[in-house]
Amino acid sequence: MDIAITGSRGLIGSALVPALARAGHRPVRLVRGAAAGTDELGWDPDSGVIDAAGLEGVGAAVHLAGAGIGDRRWTPARKRLILESRTKGTDVLARALAGLADKPAVLISASGVDYYGPHGNESLTEASPPGDGYLADVCRQWEAATKRAADAGIRVVHIRTGPVLSGDGGLLGRLLLPFRMGLGGRVGTGEQYMSWISLDDHVAATLHLLARDDSTGPYNLTAPNPVTNDEFTTTLGRLLHRPTKIPTPLLPLKLRYGGELVHELLLTGQRVLPTRLDEVGYRFAHPTLEEALRAALDRH
């Protein structure tokens, strides 16, 4: 079937598009500006413009687009962009899908484990309530923006994603150089949990949820074995044969990215479990951190 996808050039989208094609689907990219081919549709979420006619007949939509969270200091303007790039884009897409004569069966819409806010070592499932903090509020509003699609009878799935491990980008991509130089170390106490997932499992889990007609609502896209920052640091250092004894200095990070970003993204965390993925029969290719890191490093 035809599957519309936003954020198709990002880390996850770049892997998902060929996976959809291998599974026999036809990915249709939603791109900003004019479409360059028959497999693209134009949209401009900032102005509320989308090629709704081109969406007629798509069997599903996967919405991944949103401004980067951890790559720049959180100024008031940047925080507004992070929020609105998610809520506006999601609302524009949801409204367009809801207005189609031939509606898709499912909308899979990105979200994040930051939905739960900081929770120390408490285990969290999809039944856990939303937490506090800027990112938790972003995720809550992000998910709420799919309401038009759900009201129109479209099956809506929210994929609450943890850090996606790939040597080609994301968290791991940024860490490889300093770790290979022997400069990797725990951040803060190292006790904060990281609910990671391999890129392969993120893509495969998304395909699994596309195919499950009974899957709706939130699903944690995290591996079943979250680790502390200290465990993550030690494991990555061991696989790269580099020392990780010296903690990462926080002052340079705070000077570059600001204290709020460093606190929410690096010094706090969530111990999130993929309870509902397990219930619908998904089996992880990389259930442990070492397996996921080895796969990412071998491919990189």
How would you class 47 by CB atoms within 10 Å of its CB: exposed for 0-12, middle for 13-18, buried for 19 or more? Answer: exposed
pLDDT class of 34 with cuts at 50, 70, 90: confident
- With b for 16 or more beta-carbon neighbours within 10 A and e for fewer, the 211-227 pattern comes to ebeebbebbbbbbebbb
pLDDT band, residue 35 (cuts 50/70/90): confident
Q: How far apart are CA 71 and CA 128, in angstroms?
A: 28
**pLDDT above 80 (res 300):** no
Average pLDDT over residues 35-44: 91
State the average pLDDT over residues 28-44: 91
Per the rule left: phi > 0, alpha: psi between -120 and 50, beta: everything else, 162 is beta
- Extract the tokens encoding 47: 């102005």
pLDDT reported for residue 252: 93
- 100 touches 151 (CB < 8 A): no
Whole-prediction pTM value?
Answer: 0.96
Question: What percent of the chain stands above pLDDT 70?
Answer: 100
Tell me the mean pLDDT in the region 131-147: 97
Q: Residue 142 pLDDT > 90, yes or no?
A: yes
Beta bridge partners of 158: 109, 218
Mean pLDDT over the full length of the chain: 96
Q: Is the pLDDT of residue 184 over 90?
A: yes
Kindly report, residue by residue over 83-113, the tens digit of the pLDDT: 999 999 999 999 999 999 999 999 999 999 9
pLDDT one-digit tens code per residue, 191-227: 999 999 999 999 999 999 999 999 999 999 999 999 9
Q: What is the pLDDT of residue 92?
A: 98
CATH architecture of 2-299: 3-Layer(aba) Sandwich (3.40)
| Residues 6 or more apart whose Cβ sits within 8 Å of residue 279 | none
Question: In the prediction, which pLDDT does 33 show?
Answer: 82
pLDDT in tens, 235-245: 999 999 999 99
Stretch 147-176: mean pLDDT, rounded?
Answer: 96
Q: Is the pLDDT of residue 120 over 80?
A: yes
Report pLDDT digits (tens) over 246-290: 999 999 999 999 999 999 999 999 999 999 999 999 999 999 999
Q: For residue 37, is pLDDT > 90?
A: no
